[in-house]
Amino acid sequence: MSKKKYFYIEQYVYSNFVNNNILLYNTFTNKFIDVFITNKELLNFIERVLLKDNLRTIDVSQEELKNVIIAKFINKCRDLFIADIIESDSKPFIMSPIPKLNQNIRESIKGNSEHVLNAKNMIKELNYFIDSKKTLCTNIKLKANGYKQILFPFYNAEIDKQLEFLTIEKFLFDMNIQNIEKINIIGNICSENYNNEILVFFKNNFIQFHTYYLDFDLNGTFATEILKTKNKSFVFWIDNIIVEDQILKLNEFVIKNNIYSIFKFIVTNEHEVNQVIEFTNTITLNYELIPFFNQTNIDFFENNIFNTKKDILNQKLNEREIFSKMYINILNYGKLYFLPNGAIYSNLNINPIGNIINDELSYTLKNEVLNDNAWFKTRDTILPCKNCIYQFICPPTTNYEKFINKNNLCHYNPYIAKWQGEEGYVPVEKCGTYTKEKGFVVNKRKVNTLNKQIWGEE
Ligand code: SF4
């Protein structure tokens, strides 16, 4: 029996094929091929390889091997150790790169009440907002919307009652608190409303206290109490550096007492970025720059936050990291947020999933798991990312996307397979419209016309 030639994609290569656009990503070397295919023979060849039943291995005919475009594609794949050709009597078996065990995890969780109960074990982070009305922060936009984008203290004049910590204790009573990796307490922790029971209840957990830098009273009771406890750290939120003195004193306090802390400078434009860099150049400070969308600075976000091709493909992701993005939103997963009125959220930009005063933990978790609110909000569930070959390479959606009401904070148009700066690029908005209710709605006619203009046919 004569041997046949088989083309196969290596097991460690991640592939995605959407509307003539293919991505082959080598998870060992992070080298990749991303092309929009217009040639019919090559398109047919790739469709055959990626047909589910073919398990990414096909026999290659002599005509295909002689076809210059297919041969060029095969050579490129071989150069990058993405795919190869093997001669064999029978079709070789190449293992599927997708872990079967997890393939339908979302569905199995939804259909299985046991899994929903086990969802308690999925909780990894609790975020508890305490009342922060007594604040020295005067930034109205930050006070109104900061908590929806970053873990900035929550201010709401209408909520006049502080959630008692006892209520949280009751709510969490049958949970294994030790499993929780991190607790964030956000707000004016030095105010009289601050409840010391938190420190006792979570004594064995890692707690991070988030507070507005001017609200921290270095001579108050809290500053003294905190020095007696372990596993604690601070985040100081700073929206301007006018009171440099306070930053220096806080820095001195945390260094002297060996408390891990981060100074988070909130920036809304390039000028503020430069100011912070200039200031931090003069001192030793553990700091981060945190962008804030104030509804008037979309240009700042486009220039500094939106993903470029380099940002996405330079992440050096391994197989495991890519697959985890297929099933969960790694930024949201396992996180719960409690507001002072008792409302519980899995993401603060969408509706609450329960109320700590009236609902049980299992009801709340079921709500999250069954409604795909945040934990399982992967890019293949939202447009236009659903139509994009980079959907599982791209970083997961953040609060910024939710707040700006635009899923694709990037410079890529997946409908025409063009990055900004490439010939023929037009923004994704030219291929459809964003509506508040439905999100992005594609206009297929426009997409076809644009693709004919840009790509034509070989
Ligand atoms: S369209 Fe979505 S998945 Fe594609 S690069 Fe942009 S943000 Fe990422």
CA angle 113, 115, 119 (to 5 degrees): 115
The finding on whether 410 has its CB within 6 A of some atom of ligand 1 is yes
User: Rounded to the nearest whole angstrom, what is the distance from the C-alpha of residue 65 to the centroid of ligand 1?
Assistant: 34
Average pLDDT, the chain: 88
- 95: exposed, middle or buried (C-beta count within 10 Å: 0-12, 13-18, 19+)? exposed
Report which of 163, 174, 168 is spatially closest to residue 336, judged by C-alpha positions: 168
Within this chain, do residues 131 and 250 fall inside the same structural domain, yes or no?
yes
The residue range of the domain holding 233 is 118-305+334-371
pLDDT digits (tens, 9 = 90+) for 318-350: 989 998 899 889 999 999 999 988 899 999 999
Query: From ligand 1's centre to the CA of 411, what distance in Å?
Result: 8
Q: Are residues 365 and 405 in the same domain?
A: no
Between the alpha carbon of residue 37 and those of residues 21, 180, 353, 416, the distances in Å are 6, 47, 44, 11
What is the per-residue pLDDT for 362? Answer: 82
Q: Is the CB of residue 208 below 6 angstroms from any atom belonging to ligand 1?
A: no
Angle between helices 40-50 and 68-79 (to 10 degrees): 50
Residue 259 half-sphere exposure, CB side, CA atoms within 13 Å? 27
385 lines ligand 1 (CB under 6 A): yes
pLDDT tens digits, residue range 89-109? 888 877 766 554 444 555 665
Q: Indicate the DSSP class of residue 130.
A: P
The pLDDT of residue 169: 80
Note whether residue 100 is domain-resident: no
- Which of 16, 306, 317, 410 best tests ligand 1's pocket when mutated (most atoms within 8 Å of CB)? 410
The predicted-structure confidence for 112-166, as pLDDT tens digits, reads as follows 555 555 667 788 999 999 877 788 999 999 998 999 999 999 887 666 667 777 7
Angle at 168 between CA 375 and CA 234, to 5 degrees: 75
Structurally, the chain folds into a number of domains equal to 3
Question: How far apart are alpha carbons 67 and 56 in whole angstroms?
Answer: 20
* Average pLDDT score over residue span 205-224: 88
| 96, part of any domain | no
Q: Does residue 85 carry a pLDDT above 90? A: yes
| Neighbour tally for 255: CB within 10 Å | 13
Q: Are 403 and 141 in contact (CB under 8 A)?
A: no
Dihedral sign computed on CA atoms, order 181, 185, 190, 192: negative
Residue 342's Cα: distance from chain center in Å? Answer: 26
398 and 365 within one domain: no
Judge whether 40 and 326 are in contact, CB under 8 Å: no
Indicate whether 81 belongs to any domain. yes
Query: Within this chain, do residues 245 and 210 fall inside the same structural domain, yes or no?
Result: yes
Domain end marker among 71, 88, 105 = 88
Residue with tokens 């938190």: 198
Tell me, yes or no, whether 324 lies in a domain: no
Whether the CB-CB separation of 455 and 35 falls below 8 Å is answered with no
CA distance 82 to 14: 9
Strands (E), 27-146: 32-36, 57-59, 83-88, 125-129
Distance 299 CA to ligand 1 centre (A): 18
**Could you give the CA distance from residue 389 to residue 15 in angstroms, rounded to a whole number?**
8
- 265 CB near ligand 1 (under 6 Å): no
DSSP state at residue 347: S
Whole-number Å distance between alpha carbons of 403 and 294: 10
pLDDT at position 294: 94
Q: Are residues 301 and 225 in the same domain?
A: yes
Residues 155 and 263 in one domain: yes
Residue 110 pLDDT level (bands cut at 50, 70, 90): low
Q: What is the mean pLDDT of residues 385-400?
A: 95
In short, whether 33's Cβ falls inside 6 Å of ligand 1 is no
| DSSP letters for 34-63 | EEE---HHHHHHHHHHHSGGGTTEEE--HH
List, for residues 46-75, the tens digit of each pLDDT value. Answer: 999 999 889 999 999 999 999 999 999 999
Give the residue whose CA is nearest to atom 2 of ligand 1: 385
Residue 295, pLDDT above cutoff 90:
yes
Instruction: Tell me: pLDDT of 31 over 50.
Output: yes
Which is the closest atom of ligand 1 to the Cα of 428?
1
pLDDT confidence tier of residue 383, bands split at 50, 70 and 90: very high
Q: How confident is the model at residue 366 (pLDDT cuts 50, 70, 90)?
A: confident
Per-residue model confidence (pLDDT) at position 306: 96
DSSP strand pairing (21-26 vs 13-18): antiparallel
Provide the pLDDT for residue 157.
66
Same domain, 240 and 362: yes
pLDDT computed for residue 412 by the predictor: 97
Domain of residue 252, CATH code:
3.20.20.70
CA of 388 to the centre of ligand 1 (A): 6
Query: What average pLDDT does this structure show over 242-261?
Result: 91
User: Do 238 and 190 fall into the same domain?
Assistant: yes
pLDDT above 70 for 201: yes
Q: Is 379 in the pocket of ligand 1 (CB under 6 A)?
A: yes
At 103 the pLDDT is 44
In a domain, 299, yes or no: yes
Considering the domain architecture, whether residues 131 and 275 belong to the same structural domain is answered as yes
DSSP annotation string for 162-213? PPPHHHHHHHTTTS-GGG--EEEEES-TTSTT--THHHHHTTTS-EEEEEEG
In a domain, 97, yes or no: no
Q: Residue range 27-32: average pLDDT?
A: 94
- The CA radius of gyration of the chain, in Å to the nearest whole number, is 26
Residue 185 in tokens: 């307490």
Does residue 152 share a domain with residue 67? no
Residue 18 lies in a domain: yes
Report phi then psi at 238, rounded to 5.
-130, 120
Same-domain status, 392 and 265:
no
Query: How many angstroms does the Cα of residue 401 sit away from the middle of ligand 1?
Result: 11
| Residue nearest ligand 1's atom 7 by CA | 408
Residue appearing with tokens 């393939």: 103
CA-to-CA distance for 440 and 431, rounded, in angstroms? 10
**178 or 441, which is more confident?**
441
User: Are 197 and 69 members of one domain?
Assistant: no
Residue 428 clears pLDDT 80, i.e. is over it: yes
Domain assignment of residue 377, yes or no: no
The response to whether residue 390 sits with its C-beta less than 6 Å from ligand 1 reads yes
